[in-house]
Amino acid sequence: MYSPSRKDFIALTLSDQHSRSYNNGKHRRQSCWRKWKQLSRLQRSLILFLLALLLIFGLLFYPSFSEQWGGRPLSPLSLAVSLLYLHAAIDVSQHAPVLCVCVCRMCLLCIVSVKPVDRLEMVREAFRHAWKGYKEFAWGHDELKPVSKSYGEWFGLGLTIIDALDTMWILGLKEEFEEARKWVETELSFSKNVDVNLFESTIRILGGLLSTYHLTGDEMFLEKAKDIGLRLMPAFKTPSKIPFSDVNIGKGTAHPPRWTSDSTLAEVTSVQLEFRELSRLTHDPQYQEVVNEVMRLVHKLPGKHDGLVPMFINTNSGQFTHKGVFTLGARADSYYEYLLKQWIQGGKTEPDLLEDYLEAIEGVKKHLLRTSGPRKLTFVGELNHNRFNPKMDHLVCFLPGTLALGAHNGLPEDHMELALQLMETCHQMYIQMETGLSPEIVHFNLQPYDGRDVDVKPADRHNLLRPETVESLFYLYRFTKDAKYRDWGWDILESFNKYTRVPSGGYTSISNVRDPVNPGPRDKMESFFLGETLKYFYLLFSDDLELLSLDKYVFNTEAHPLPIWQLPPV
Ligand code: DMJ
């Protein structure tokens, strides 16, 4: 039995209203009707044909218009009802007023069927949901374990709160921000006998506090930033001036990991944006001196391969170790990112940084770039003692955004072309999976005959709620204004909501992106999901292109925006 839906009801109501106004304007319409009847049959048919065509085009193009506005396409029901009206209109072509009624009704129906999806609100909702779980089960601890409704501790410094501060500010979540601010002011203490990783605590804690200070102007955050910055300094007291990986922020001692005296290349070269900014704000040069020295040493170090760097560096000798392995993924990724970003931060006045970056991108093109056999997807593989390995970490998906940022800052146009190709590849790493979520690592198929572009090994099928693809989508949208990047991002957010959202609060990393029935929740919400992933979603969907303008801010590798300096570094 047919029962009218809300939309039909609105349509019917509109029809009633129309009949009333029809009576009121009876005379005007009668003269209109007379004129219509004076037309020849051919003339009338022609007009009706044109009207019908107009309507059909309207209906066809309606979805793309509405999507650009963040709305949904016309629902099947509305479409069916509209077509019925159209059919009726043509059928009753002898009755022009009825046709007019139908046309008006269809237009109104189109209007009432637009249900705009407020994508920004959906990001806020996702944040609130994540925050709810953290607040209820993990408040003051480093990370939420949403499935077991408990928490995980890494440094014991409330990492999620600090990492998420500027996201809350940007998303306009005032209440949540205030409770977090209060915790930082009253509960957060760095005077703790605890070992922290220099890189992770710099990008998440120092970076988070500095950016929140810039956004809010609240001195309390700067004081906290100074406190942690000073406590991390012992890491740089090594024979080579290449920092140790770990620091005890309570005791003021530093050391390498138990099993080696090596540090990871990406880690020692991705603390520079934060320490340089701390020097600028405090007028104390000690922070920038230690990190600039690392860059100077790496700049002139032998063992690079056309600008590509090995993954480890020894804290005693200051030399590269494990030579011959080159990747843009884990352990090397943010070295390349920070070359460009330091150059931008310092107002493009440090030529060594630019030189190293440009050389490295040429090295990538020469040694690491290939296309998959089936769909010719451009990807960045790895080099292992001159053997090419078609393996790409999801972490590499920061690269399209970084390349685009470089091109935006005047670097070669082919960097942008490469960015667009790699963005497509990262997108495919999501849509070719059954859950619509990328695995941690993929292997590309170089054979043209076999159907699949990517193969995922069982051990690589997890997704940790990482941000890199969303980050690059944000950069590419800002620079191209192509709405498809927003749509790709939207699909990813929907997949996160479908497969990683935990009903009681929070989102979880999952074990298997290829199994939508049992994706295997891992019971961990990384702080970067709030600090980075959700922030980049928000910036991707925001129409305010001046919100954290990329000509004024440079984002650290944990998505914390820091200002581009107006004056060159001293
Ligand atoms: C974050 O901590 C940073 O983005 C880092 O550069 C890489 N790993 C995670 C996110 O994947």
Q: Do residues 535 and 163 touch, judged by C-beta distance below 8 A?
A: no
Choose between 93 and 336: higher pLDDT. 336
Burial of 111 (0-12, 13-18, 19+ CB in 10 A): exposed
Q: Which of 79-93, 173-187, 209-223, 338-352 has the lowest mean pLDDT?
A: 79-93
Tell me what pLDDT residue 8 has: 32
Q: Which pLDDT band holds residue 41 (cuts at 50, 70, 90)? A: low
Query: What would the mean pLDDT of 198-211 be, rounded to a whole number?
Result: 99
Tell me what pLDDT residue 49 has: 73
Q: Is the CB of 201 under 6 A from ligand 1?
A: no
Residue in 491, 351, 505, 346 with CA at minimum distance from that of residue 431: 491
Q: Is the CB of 528 under 6 A from ligand 1?
A: yes
DSSP type of residue 386: T
Tell me what pLDDT residue 86 has: 44
Q: Which pLDDT band holds residue 185 (cuts at 50, 70, 90)? A: very high
Q: Which pLDDT band holds residue 276 (cuts at 50, 70, 90)? A: very high
Question: Going edge to edge, which strands form the sheet with 387-389?
Answer: 325-326, 382-384, 387-389
Q: H/E element holding 145? A: strand 143-145
Nearest ligand 1 atom to the CA of 532 is 4
Percent of the chain with pLDDT over 90: 78
Residue in 528, 384, 497, 525 with CA at minimum distance from that of residue 117: 497
Tell me what pLDDT residue 36 has: 58
Tell me what pLDDT residue 528 has: 98
Q: How many CB atoms lie within 10 A of CB 507?
A: 26
Tell me what pLDDT residue 172 has: 98
Tokens of 117: 């999806």
Q: Is the CB of 310 under 6 A from ligand 1?
A: no
Q: Which pLDDT band holds residue 396 (cuts at 50, 70, 90)? A: very high
Task: Report the catalytic residues.
Answer: 200, 333, 440, 468
Nearest CA to ligand 1 atom 6: 557
Q: Is the CB of 508 under 6 A from ligand 1?
A: no
pLDDT at 108 over 60: no
Q: Residue length, the chain? A: 570
Choose between 26 and 175: higher pLDDT. 175
pLDDT at 164 over 70: yes
**557 C-alpha to center of ligand 1: Å?**
6
Tell me what pLDDT residue 40 has: 59
CA distances from 421 to 135, 305, 367 (A): 40, 24, 17
Tell me what pLDDT residue 57 has: 57
Tell me what pLDDT residue 65 has: 36
Q: Is the CB of 557 under 6 A from ligand 1?
A: yes
**216 C-alpha to center of ligand 1: Å?**
24
Strand-strand pairing, 312-314 and 262-264: antiparallel
pLDDT at 25 over 80: no
User: Per-residue DSSP letters for 241-307?
Assistant: SPPPSEEETTTTEEE--TT-SEEEHHHHTSSHHHHHHHHHHHT-THHHHHHHHHHHHHHT-S--BTT
Q: Which pLDDT band holds residue 58 (cuts at 50, 70, 90)? A: low
Q: Which pLDDT band holds residue 48 (cuts at 50, 70, 90)? A: confident
Q: Whole-prediction pTM value?
A: 0.82
Residues 480-498 have pLDDT tens digits of 999 999 999 999 999 999 9
CA dist 176 and 130 (Å) reads 12
**Mean pLDDT of all residues in the chain?**
87
Tokens 């220099």 appear where?
A: 198
Q: Which residues are annotated binding-site positions for Ca(2+)?
A: 557
Tell me what pLDDT residue 325 has: 97
Residues 294-344 have pLDDT tens digits of 999 999 999 999 999 999 999 999 999 999 999 999 999 999 999 999 999
**3 C-alpha to center of ligand 1: Å?**
53
Tell me what pLDDT residue 448 has: 87
Name residues whose C-beta falls within 8 Å of residue 462's C-beta, 6 or more positions apart in sequence: 439, 440, 509, 510, 511, 512, 513, 522
Residues 448-481 have pLDDT tens digits of 877 889 999 999 999 999 999 999 999 999 999 9
pLDDT at 196 over 60: yes
| ∠ CA 125-128-131, rounded to 5° | 150
Tell me what pLDDT residue 106 has: 53
pLDDT at 27 over 60: no
DSSP E strands, 20-102: none
pLDDT at 440 over 70: yes
Residues 354-379 have pLDDT tens digits of 999 999 999 999 999 999 999 999 99
Choose between 246 and 80: higher pLDDT. 246
Best substitution site from 468, 534, 536, 555 to test ligand 1's pocket, by max atoms within 8 Å of Cβ? 468
